[in-house]
Amino acid sequence: MINLIFFGLVAIGILLSLYRLIKGPSNYDRIIGLDVINVSIIGVLVVIALITENEFFLDVAIVYGILGFLETIVFAKFLEVRS
């Protein structure tokens, strides 16, 4: 029950970020939406580890966090060089 409430709230957050990702006026808005979705998915992976009682999903969350961070930095540097 608690898990369902949690997933519903995270889904609201991800949908609103997805609106910003699709319709953002500038490219920076799109990257911020992507960043918020990445961090939300870390939380979702942690709660999946809680449901399945499997510690493996925490490793997945760590690697996903590293990849999301690299993605944000690389996009920021790319836009900074290009502009």
Partner 1 sequence: MTIIGNILLIISGLFYALGGLGLFRMPDVYNRAQAGTKATTLGTFSALLALCFFFPAWTPKLILLLVFVAITNPIGSSTLLRSAYKSGLKPYSKNDELSVDQYKEVKHDLS
**Min CB(34)–partner 1 separation in Å:** 10
Alpha carbon distance 27, 7 (integer Å): 28
Contact between 77 and partner 1 per CB under 8 A: yes
Residue 54: CA count within 13 A, CB half-sphere: 9
Contact between 19 and partner 1 per CB under 8 A: yes
Contact between 13 and partner 1 per CB under 8 A: yes
Contact between 16 and partner 1 per CB under 8 A: yes
| Contact status, residue 61 vs residue 31, Cβ threshold 8 Å | no
Contact between 22 and partner 1 per CB under 8 A: no
